[in-house]
Chains A and B, each alone.
With several copies, the nearest count.
Chain A
Amino acid sequence: MEQEKLQSIIESVLFVSGEGIKKSKLAKIAGVENGVLEEVLGKLTEKYSLPRSGLTLLAKGEEVQLASKADNVVFVEQMVKNELAEGLSPAALEVVSIIAYRGPISKTEIEAIRGVNCSYTLRNLLLRGLIERSDNPRDSRGYVYSISFELLKKLGVDRVEKLPDYATLSTEERITSIISTDTENNPENN
């Protein structure tokens, strides 16, 4: 395979992996010898060293990892703060409320209730520490979500039962019925 294509492949794989990845694994994925891989990594390092690049290749023992350039840390931190510290969108607030009143609850159930995919919102709420996840007792591959203790405290209550109208809202029948009808029909069959 030609050099340029190899560079492209390795960059794609490094980008997606997020964490550090063993060089031997990279070589295996790209289907090349270790020596060839070293060359490609060298080329990438060279490319990232240009002032216009925002990426850098970290190497630690046998592992390599793609990261953002250290010079830009101020801007990156500002972005993280902006994204995580801003007010909740109405959609995110709805997800939190479902988790508060119906938690612990699975992603599939939350999505059945709202009729919209919630992967992104759930991740964001987890990162902000507003919700927590634990293993789903009914499905070993999945998680269930509950409101975090910190958020409850911030709202001035020490457990969900003290949320306004908890007794009636948490047993709201329309929610129960949509969960049961929708999770029966596999949503993926379209």
Chain B
Amino acid sequence: MAYHIKLEQFEGPLDLLLQLTEQEKLDITRVSLAQIADQYLDYISHAQNITLDHLADFLSVAARLILIKSKALLPLLEFTEEEEEEIRDLEHQLAEYKKFKDAAKKVGDLVDAPFVSFTREGFSGLGVVFYPPENMTAEDLKKAFEKVVGEIPVVEKLEQETVRDILTLEEKIVHLQDALRQRAHASFSELIANAKDKVEVVVSFLAMLELVKQRIIHVEQEGLFSEIQLKHKEEK
């Protein structure tokens, strides 16, 4: 790999992007986002510490970076209103996140500073007096307990299951390579015909970009929004 970025532990795509811009000493602008798009993509395709349940977050940012990057490479490319909106949101989110990340450092200084208040035991010195709530019944207790049971999260396990099916980028690259080797020539829409959702399409697209960069495949696209054709270089 060309890049060996040394970053602190990062949490989430915005954190990663922010650290990349800071490392390159860039402000948060569209131009600088285009500049670091490759680093971001490299990073997430090789990072070991992105858990599957966070992958979707990383990929949705990746998709927007790819848009920004394409525009930088192809100035004629025009964004749809929706795309423009998504990119603007990313820029703003990043700027806002930066504010809170900076604030968190200052709050952290307060946490570490030797200033702590203490409070006293409430009602200290008072003996226990039996003060039952007026209208409480055994049935109220039962209902409250059932509510407690009902609120215990069972969701988290479900989330894990649904994400488990999604392939990682690494796996997708291998899959793409194999598919191309077998057919020598394929269109992007053929390759993603079995994709289960948007995330998998984005993963496939990232995998394609990665293969282009490693000069393993060659892609052609005749016009905007037209079909992308992929060829395996060895098969030329």
Contacts and interface: CB of A to CB of B under 8 A. Distances in A.
B235 to A, nearest CB: 40
Given A68-B117, A115-B13, A169 B146 contact: yes
B22 to A, nearest CB: 14
Contacts of B156: 119
B138 A156 contact: yes
B216 interface: no
A117 B11 CA distance: 9
B61 to A, nearest CB: 7
Interface string A43-67: 0000000000000101000000111
A49 to B, nearest CB: 14
A163 B107 contact: yes
Interface residues of B, number: 65
Given A101-B100, A126-B128, A90 B11 contact: yes
B104 A93 contact: yes
Given A96-B141, A98-B145, A154-B136, A172 B96 contact: yes
Contacts of B197: none
B78 interface: no
B164 to A, nearest CB: 16
B47 interface: no
A124 B124 CA distance: 11
Interface in A99-150: 100-101, 112-117, 119-120, 123-124, 126-130, 148-150
Contacts of A69: 117
Given A90-B144, A155-B137, A67 B119 contact: yes
A83 B129 CA distance: 12
A151 B12 contact: no
Contacts of A96: 104, 107, 141, 144
B119 A127 contact: no
Given A114-B148, A115-B12, A116-B13, A169 B99 contact: yes
Nearest to A162: B138
Nearest to B114: A73
Given A100-B141, A129-B128, A174-B154, A113 B100 contact: yes
A113 B13 contact: no
Contacts of A86: 133
Contact of B118 (A68, A90, A158): A68
A163 B149 CA distance: 16
8 contacts: A67-B117, A88-B133, A98-B145, A115-B13, A116-B15, A164-B103, A164-B138, A178-B93
Given A115-B13, A165-B142, 14 more contacts: A15-B118, A68-B117, A83-B123, A96-B107, A96-B144, A97-B107, A114-B148, A116-B11, A129-B132, A130-B130, A154-B132, A165-B103, A169-B145, A172-B99
